[in-house]
């Protein structure tokens, strides 16, 4: 197991390099840069050129990248081109918001999705068809649209939850939970319905296997068969899906954080991309990449926990 | 049958996870109704801003609303567009040339850093603004330099005669040049993001401020007019999504939602909100126009072609379809309320295809021509205006190649400045004649990238207006300058689009309409200050 962890972490190094190069190149290919953003629409070309020189944007791209990388490997993610603030502190101030959103979203979609999928698998007929229908609906509804509808109904009309904003957990645990409900609902809808469908299909397949029949013949109660044997065997594809949805939710924060005005990394990524703030964007990309690597590692470890055969291989 | 230990763990984990999930949802749902953190009656004024600012340093504070609470300016522009004393208590032009404005400063006033306001501090702050690259720097044209003429007296020198209105507008908080920063803040500009150093009713609370999320201000007990402090806290929250801003103000999370779309006005009013109309609409919506830039060669060099294009635009239909019922179609570059407004020009080019075709034929283009039009989405969301122009100009045989771009305003400015596009959709917001003639259309500026020489008649009228001895004479000359500008038709305006603001009704003193570029709740004039209804 330790070898697996070490191997995965070592593989993450070239992956981070490739991702950082790609994001650097792609961002620099987009029209515009930080100097133009800072000076706005009424700037003269001369003042833009002067500021570009001051910000180091006239250097060749590889040189700009090397400057960034040589600092990044020492843990210094540089300073924002547009605000002059340290990228590391900006990112660390916003990371908890995004993590809270994605982790709570993943937990909610996994727990509720597995519960719904289990009920659906065990009860044929209408319940199964309803869950199938909900799964299709969940996949087809854009999360930002769902967010707007939830805000209008549950925040503006019913005043149950705040329409926008984030409350820090240390400030008020109940406020924190309430501030997360609507964004998490918008973000987790796709994952929840997808996991429900996968759980249903997978559990139905497992429940039809011979060893389940043997357990029934042995007199084991049905609830115990489902919980201890059926779900555990059905969990492997579900765990894969949970990992995929976690990464998807990380991407989804870009829109959801904007709609709910949450001070996370997703909204920072949008504003940095719009303003051509390469260094901040690079910092966010690196952090997102590290999170994805860690999540994939956790999934690999979960495989081993769920399936001893995988541990051996 | 015995249960293996790992199976027990599995069941326990599932149970714990399910219980945690249930607890979370219960906690959230049973938390009661949301608290209205932005309710003006709790002593907080919470503002939902349409965009974030790059910095809280006044040289880069854009929109200036972010700096309004902590920084007074030399001159205050009231919501009615008039000028009132602020850090300067009086002003006058020296001599008859209108190229030097002398300001007398308020005495016995101190910056947050404890330094007294005097001429030396004002000169240093304005010098810094003139030298520091930033989004507001071009607002300082045509200021040459600023000098101290006494301990509490400052002279602003201009490279050309300017009108009183323009000079005072330039020194108001709307522009940045007249926003004065204390010496310690100037010495360390980065500190201005964590410690404000101005003279204003409030000061920055760094502990409660998170860049990009919320900017918090608390009362400045050293401010010279304590009666102007109406709130115990001011928060400004960037909310770029217009729908989110509206939801936040409807649900009581904020008190004021900046710049709401015209299509949401009915919803806002039915939710009990008040709508304030900014008649001088700000960029990127205020004054949509098609700039006919390549006036040095080709068809656009001919004034008849430019006028033909203007006659071919069905402004009434386009204004309503693209900008909603609050927009006013106009063929004048200067909207109502701005200096130089000339009512006679608002329908100078009524929709007339026959006249347009006739002018094109007279100019030597009876069969039309092909025109490339750059249409950035930052000024024309979804390219709706661009598409309308394509169809309108096709009717007079001008084939438009529309080039769209999603770049930011700063990048778009450089793209048009490169002289690559003969015409482009632009929106700098409502602007007066003096700014248009002396700044926007000056050679090499973003509305004149081909550096075409200006018009002598227009120059003469603007100069005469600058030198006018009386306000009435100045107004007459400015109107004449507007008429000349509209006759030249260097750009084809489409409509005047107001900026709409939604506020909760538990705030008093919010004007129903205003003539400043940005709405300002913090005034040195006590009666103008916004305040809680029960405050």
Q: Report chain B (535 residues): mean pLDDT per 10 consecutive residues.
A: 44 46 47 48 89 89 94 96 96 92 97 96 96 84 95 96 92 93 94 93 94 93 93 95 92 94 90 94 90 96 98 96 92 94 96 97 97 94 95 97 89 86 93 90 87 93 91 93 97 96 94 93 89 78
Q: Is residue B134 part of a domain?
A: yes
- B303 CB burial (10 A radius; 0-12, 13-18, 19+): middle
CA B45 – CA B231 distance, rounded (Å): 7
B295 located within any domain:
yes
How far apart CA B21 and CA B28 sit, in angstroms, is 11
Which pLDDT score is estimated for A128? 75
A155 touching B, CB under 8 A?
yes
Q: What is the pLDDT of residue B28?
A: 46
Shortest distance between the Cα of A111 and any Cα of chain B, in A, equals 6
* Same domain? B358 vs B445: yes
Query: Do residue B37 and residue B114 come from a single domain?
Result: yes
The distance of B55 to chain A (nearest Cα, Å) reads: 6
Residue B503, SS3? strand
Q: Which residues of B155-187 are buried (b: 16+ CB within 10 A; e: fewer)?
A: bbebebbbbbbbbbbbbbbbbbbbbbbbebbbe
Q: Quick one: average pLDDT of A114-129?
A: 83
Rounded Cα gap, residues A293 and A295, in angstroms: 6
Window from A92-106, A143-157, B20-34, B431-445 with minimum mean pLDDT: B20-34
Q: What is the rounded CA–CA span in Å between residue A201 and residue B387?
A: 49
> Sign of the C-alpha dihedral, residues B39, B41, B44, B47?
positive
> For residue B16, what is the domain's CATH number?
3.40.190.10
Same domain (yes/no): B449, B524: no
* B326 and B372, same domain (yes or no): yes
- Please check the confidence at residue A182 and state whether its pLDDT lies above 90: yes
Predicted local distance difference test score (pLDDT) of residue A37: 80
Decide if the complex's ipTM is over 0.85: no
* pLDDT value of position B39: 53
Question: Which of A83, A181, A232 faces B10 most closely, judged by CB atoms?
Answer: A232
Residues B213 and B355 in one domain: no
- Give the whole-angstrom CA distance, residue A150 versus residue A161: 10
Distance CA B535, CA B506 (A): 10
- Indicate whether B351 belongs to any domain: yes
- Cβ atoms of residues B242 and B260 within 8 Å: yes
Residue to test with chain A: of B141, B248, B271, most A Cβ within 10 A: B248
Q: Residue A239 has what pLDDT?
A: 87
How many domains does chain B divide into? Answer: 2
Same domain, B84 and B181: yes
- Cβ contacts (< 8 Å) between B29 and chain A: which residues? 160, 181
pLDDT attached to residue B412 = 87
pLDDT for B3: 42
Q: Which residues of B touch A232 (CB under 8 A)?
A: 10
In a domain, B149, yes or no: yes
Counting residues of chain A whose pLDDT is more than 70, the rounded percentage is 97
Same domain, B28 and B127: yes
Size of interface A-B (CB pairs under 8 A): 195
Whether A198 contacts A238, CB under 8 Å: yes
**Residues B103 and B236 both lie in one domain:** yes
pLDDT of residue A266: 92
Phi then psi for B531, rounded to 5 degrees?
Answer: -155, 160
Assess whether B297 and B195 both reside in one domain: no
A contact test, residue of B252, B257, B410, B428 with most A CBs within 10 A: B410
For A22-36, what is each residue's pLDDT tens digit? 988 888 887 778 888
Range of B204's domain?
5-241+500-532
Nearest to B138 among A43, A45, A258 (CB): A43
- On whether both B160 and B71 belong to a single domain, the answer is yes
Q: Is A260 on the interface with B (CB under 8 A)?
A: yes
CA dist B175 and B172 (Å) reads 6
Residue B296 belongs to a domain: yes
Predicted confidence at residue B31, as pLDDT, reads 45
Q: Is B291 left (phi over 0), alpha (psi -120 to 50) or beta?
A: beta
**A40–B62 CB contact, under 8 Å:** yes
- Asked whether residue B274 is assigned to any structural domain, the reply reads no
What are the pLDDT digits (tens) for A236-275? 888 888 988 999 999 889 889 988 999 999 999 988 887 8
A40 in B contact zone (CB under 8 Å): yes
pLDDT at B328: 95
Q: Smallest CA–CA separation between A237 and chain B, in Å?
A: 17
**B99 and B11 belong to one structural domain:** yes
Q: Distance between CA B427 and CA B223 in Å, rounded?
A: 37
Look at residue B40 in the predicted model and tell me its pLDDT: 53
> Looking at residue B442, which CATH number applies to its domain?
3.10.105.10
In a domain, B13, yes or no: yes
Same domain for B156 and B77, yes or no, is yes
Does residue B253 sit within a domain?
Answer: no
Report helix, strand or coil for B38.
Answer: coil
Question: Are A111 and B213 an interchain contact pair (Cβ–Cβ within 8 Å)?
Answer: no
Residues of A in contact with B215 (CB under 8 A): none
């Amino acid at each position: 197991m330790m070898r697996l962890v070490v191997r995965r972490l070592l593989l993450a190094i070239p992956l981070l390099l490739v991702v950082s190069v790609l994001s650097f190149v792609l961002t620099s290919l987009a029209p515009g840069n930080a100097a133009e953003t800072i000076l706005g629409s009424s700037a003269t070309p001369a003042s833009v050129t002067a500021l570009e020189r001051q910000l180091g944007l006239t250097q060749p791209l590889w040189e700009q990248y090397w400057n960034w990388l040589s600092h990044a490997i020492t843990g210094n993610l540089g300073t924002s081109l547009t605000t002059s603030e340290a990228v590391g502190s900006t990112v660390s101030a916003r990371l908890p918001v995004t993590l809270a959103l994605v982790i709570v979203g993943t937990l909610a979609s996994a727990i509720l999705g597995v519960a719904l999928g289990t009920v659906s698998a065990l009860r044929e007929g209408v319940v199964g068809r309803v869950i199938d229908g909900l799964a299709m609906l969940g996949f087809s509804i854009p999360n930002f649209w769902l967010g707007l509808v939830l805000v209008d109904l549950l925040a503006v009309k019913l005043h149950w939850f705040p329409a926008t904003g984030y409350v820090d957990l240390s400030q008020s645990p109940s406020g924190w939970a309430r501030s997360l409900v609507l964004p998490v609902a918008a973000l987790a809808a796709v994952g929840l319905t997808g996991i429900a469908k996968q759980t249903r299909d997978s559990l139905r397949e497992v429940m039809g296997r011979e060893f389940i029949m043997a357990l029934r013949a042995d007199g084991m109660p049905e609830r115990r068969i489902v919980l201890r044997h059926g779900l555990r065997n059905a969990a492997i594809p579900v765990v894969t899906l949970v990992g995929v949805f976690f990464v998807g939710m990380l991407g989804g924060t870009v829109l959801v954080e904007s709609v709910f005005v949450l001070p996370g990394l997703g909204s920072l990524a949008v504003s940095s991309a719009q303003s051509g703030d390469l260094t901040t964007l690079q910092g966010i990309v690196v952090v997102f990449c590290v999170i994805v690597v860690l999540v994939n590692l956790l999934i690999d470890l979960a495989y081993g926990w769920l399936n001893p055969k995988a541990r051996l291989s | 049958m015995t249960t293996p230990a790992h199976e027990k763990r599995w069941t326990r984990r599932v149970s714990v996870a399910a219980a945690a999930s249930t607890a979370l949802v219960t906690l959230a749902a049973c938390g009661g109704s949301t608290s209205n953190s932005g309710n003006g009656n709790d002593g907080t004024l919470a503002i939902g801003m349409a965009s974030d600012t790059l910095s809280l340093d006044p040289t880069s504070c854009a929109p200036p609303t972010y700096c309004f609470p902590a920084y007074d300016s030399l001159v205050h522009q009231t919501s009615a567009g008039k000028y009132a004393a602020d850090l300067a208590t009086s002003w006058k032009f020296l001599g008859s040339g209108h190229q030097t404005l002398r300001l007398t400063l308020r005495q016995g006033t101190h910056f947050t850093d404890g330094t007294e306001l005097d001429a030396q501090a004002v000169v240093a702050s304005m010098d810094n603004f003139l030298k520091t690259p930033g989004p507001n720097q071009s607002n300082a044209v045509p200021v040459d330099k600023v000098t101290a003429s006494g301990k509490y007296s400052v002279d602003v020198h201009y490279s050309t005669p300017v009108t009183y209105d323009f000079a005072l507008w330039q020194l108001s908080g709307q522009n940045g040049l007249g926003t004065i920063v204390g010496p310690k803040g100037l010495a360390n500009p980065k500190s201005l993001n964590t410690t404000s150093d101005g003279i204003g009713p409030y000061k920055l609370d760094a502990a409660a401020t998170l860049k990009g999320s919320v900017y918090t201000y608390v009362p400045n007990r050293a401010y010279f007019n304590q009666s102007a402090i109406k709130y115990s806290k001011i928060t400004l929250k960037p909310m770029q999504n217009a729908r989110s801003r509206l939801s936040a103000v409807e649900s009581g999370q904020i008190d004021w939602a900046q710049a709401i779309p015209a299509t949401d006005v009915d919803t806002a009013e039915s939710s009990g909100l008040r709508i304030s109309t900014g008649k001088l609409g700000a960029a990127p919506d205020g004054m949509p126009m098609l700039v006919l830039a390549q006036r040095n060669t080709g068809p656009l060099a001919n004034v008849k072609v430019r006028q033909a294009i203007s006659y071919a635009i069905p402004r009434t239909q386009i204004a309503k379809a693209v900008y909603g019922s609050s927009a006013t179609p106009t063929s004048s570059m200067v909207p109502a309320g701005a200096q130089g407004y000339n009512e006679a020009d608002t329908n100078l080019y009524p929709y007339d295809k026959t006249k347009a075709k006739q002018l094109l034929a007279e100019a030597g283009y009876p069969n039309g021509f092909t025109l490339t039009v750059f249409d950035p989405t930052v000024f024309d969301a979804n390219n709706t205006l661009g598409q309308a122009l394509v169809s309108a100009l096709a009717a007079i045989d001008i084939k438009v190649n529309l080039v769209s771009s999603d770049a930011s305003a700063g990048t778009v400015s450089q793209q048009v400045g490169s002289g690559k596009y003969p015409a482009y959709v632009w929106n700098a917001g409502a602007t007066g004649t003096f700014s248009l003639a002396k700044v926007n259309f000056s050679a090499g500026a973003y509305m004149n990238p081909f550096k075409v020489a200006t018009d002598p008649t227009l120059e003469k009228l603007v100069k005469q207006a600058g030198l006018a001895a009386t306000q009435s004479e100045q107004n007459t000359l400015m109107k004449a300058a507007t008429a000349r500008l509209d006759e030249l038709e260097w750009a084809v305006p489409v409509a005047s689009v107001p900026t709409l603001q939604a506020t909760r009704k538990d705030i008093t003193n919010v004007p129903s309409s205003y003539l400043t570029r940005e709405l300002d709740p913090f005034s040195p004039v006590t009666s103008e200050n916004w305040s809680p209804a029960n405050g």
